[in-house]
Amino acid sequence: MLDEENIVDPSHPRYDSLMIRKKIADAGVKGMLADSAMIAHGRGEAYDYLLGEKTTPSAMEATKEAVARLIKAESPVISLNGNAIALAGSDFLTLASQLGCPVEINIFYRTPERMGALIGHLKLLNSKLGLDVEILGGIPDERIPGLEGPRGACQSNGIFSADTILVPLEDGDRCEALVAMGKEVLVIDLNPLSRSSRNCTVGIVDEVSRVAKNMIQMMPEKPAPTKWNNAKGLQAALDQIIDNITNKFS
Amino acid sequence: MLDEENIVDPSHPRYDSLMIRKKIADAGVKGMLADSAMIAHGRGEAYDYLLGEKTTPSAMEATKEAVARLIKAESPVISLNGNAIALAGSDFLTLASQLGCPVEINIFYRTPERMGALIGHLKLLNSKLGLDVEILGGIPDERIPGLEGPRGACQSNGIFSADTILVPLEDGDRCEALVAMGKEVLVIDLNPLSRSSRNCTVGIVDEVSRVAKNMIQMMPEKPAPTKWNNAKGLQAALDQIIDNITNKFS
């Protein structure tokens, strides 16, 4: 497993994971992240390591289910926070373009500086990719009922009116509040035990940039929704961890 | 489990964990930590959550074994990095005082500013506690063989000549290099699969501030060393995780 402090060496067996970490560190330097984002990333690293640092079959199924529900939705929105933008901003813009839907930035520790850095970064990526995805979140005019403070802020033409929301790396309170609004909430979270994973409609237990890439590739297949059992998918993730650590030292 | 971004509310069922996190965030603000320290802390949080956020019986046994070996040692040293100082600086000074041994600061990303902040913080704690523990690391005059860069720096009258070293939250390369020098290396690491845990003499899979407190309490008992099976202790930690996540959703 990871050592406490490490440098990125291309010959390192866990180079991918270390490069993902570097993206987070770089985004931190650019002012895109709160300190807690680093700690959250570390938690994700630990779960990803235990899961094997690859997309498990059950995570792939959950990803397909989420894609199916996004395609079927009348007004889907992709909600993005700092970590999701740092790790997979380009991919989520590509997915939004495929879906013809907006992205909306929603961050827990909202400051004008961080919002500005995130919006600016997404605009730059939009332009680099030749896309014209609508970027919401900068001028919130509605609130998610039951959420105190800035994280409850949202846009009427985005998250507030959406029927289906893809929320990578969501905070648990907000996930619950969105479900309480009657929305389908599709969560990407490496922790199968988080409140977000437990309370959402479809929980994808996988690393956010792998999921975004898988979703882009699945879009042309136009999968159809099924009757999804979220608890079953989450237990499959836990069972994968159990498989990976059973009799490791004997 | 933890949500991505959270605030500390005393009624929160995981208040202790959130307060520990706050200590890391505060130390970051004081310039005591590299960015990677936050990510490392997050990894620890995930393992601690899976372990149940309390000292397991096998961790308590490993702690006792480490205390026994520190007492028996001719020249023990407690090696401290930024996270260990932030989370349990006072407790490690108390333990060093009980053992009559020095502490030595050794950090991966060594800068004069960080070293200064850490030494200053420990001196302040020494004074607050009315202790006079020797604080080494500021003027390294030797090197740990096989380690490149600043993290190989150490003091001749500290880590270099020690026969037994307590190393909370160690990096894997350095742990291996210390073992290769023929030292007894006692590691505190919440990840039972880390290279540090695997390669050390006694691995304590537990949260560093809980371990430090347990050690202080065990010192008067003067436990005796046993023939320790490190692999068995690590598998016990993994088995605890397995117990905690089996049939969680069924």
Q: Report d(CA B132, CA B130) in Å as an integer.
A: 7
Q: Is residue A182 part of a domain?
A: yes
In terms of Cα–Cα distance, which of B55, B122, B61 is closest to B88? B122
Residue A7: per-residue pLDDT: 53
A191 contacts in chain B (CB < 8 Å): 1-2, 46
A83 contacts in chain B (CB < 8 Å): 4
Q: Is residue B32 part of a domain?
A: no
Select from B36, B43, B172 the Cβ nearest to the Cβ of A43. Answer: B43
Q: Is residue A110 part of a domain?
A: yes
Judged on CB neighbours under 10 Å (0-12, 13-18, 19+), B60 is middle
Per the structure, the count of domains in chain B is 1
Question: What is the per-residue pLDDT across A47-68, written as a single tens digit (0 to 9) for each?
Answer: 999 999 999 999 999 999 999 9
Q: Is residue A249 part of a domain?
A: no
Beta carbons of A46 and B42 less than 8 Å apart:
yes
Q: Hey, is the C-beta of B167 within 8 angstroms of any chain A C-beta?
A: no
Residue B4: per-residue pLDDT: 37
Which helix (H) or strand (E) is A21 found in, with range? helix A15-29
- Cα B32 to chain center, whole Å? 16
Residue B1: per-residue pLDDT: 29
Question: What is the per-residue pLDDT across B96-144, written as a single tens digit (0 to 9) for each?
Answer: 999 999 999 998 788 889 999 999 999 999 999 999 999 999 999 999 9
pTM (two decimals): 0.91
Question: What is the per-residue pLDDT across B235-246, written as a single tens digit (0 to 9) for each?
Answer: 999 999 999 999
Q: Is residue B129 part of a domain?
A: yes
- In CATH, what number is assigned to the domain containing residue B177? 3.40.50.12640
Residue B184 domain boundaries: 57-242
Q: Is residue B64 part of a domain?
A: yes
C-alpha distance from residue B95 to each of A88, B220, B248 (Å): 45, 11, 39
A105, A136 in Cβ contact below 8 A?
Answer: yes
B1 contacts in chain A (CB < 8 Å): 43, 191, 193-195
Q: Which residues pair with B103 in a beta bridge?
A: B78, B135
> In this structure, what token pair is assigned to residue A171?
């905070």
Q: Look-up: residue for tokens 């289910």?
A: A65
Residue A84: per-residue pLDDT: 95
In terms of Cα–Cα distance, which of B249, B236, B243, B245 is closest to B60? B236
Tell me which of A214-218, A220-224, B22-26, B233-237 is least confident. Answer: B22-26
Q: Is residue B49 part of a domain?
A: no
Beta carbons of A195 and B169 less than 8 Å apart:
no
Tell me which of A15-24, A38-47, A237-246 is least confident. Answer: A15-24
Select from B35, B235, B242 the Cβ nearest to the Cβ of A242. Answer: B242
Beta carbons of B25 and A4 less than 8 Å apart:
no
User: What's the rounded mean pLDDT across residues A73-81?
Assistant: 97
- Answer whether residue A6 shows pLDDT above 50: no
Arithmetic mean of pLDDT over chain B: 92
In terms of Cα–Cα distance, which of A78, A46, A89 is closest to A213? A89
In terms of Cα–Cα distance, which of B199, B196, B216 is closest to B63? B216
More confident residue, A14 or A117: A117
Q: Is residue B2 part of a domain?
A: no
In terms of Cα–Cα distance, which of B40, B168, B18 is closest to B92? B168
ipTM, two decimals: 0.89
B171 contacts in chain A (CB < 8 Å): 3-6
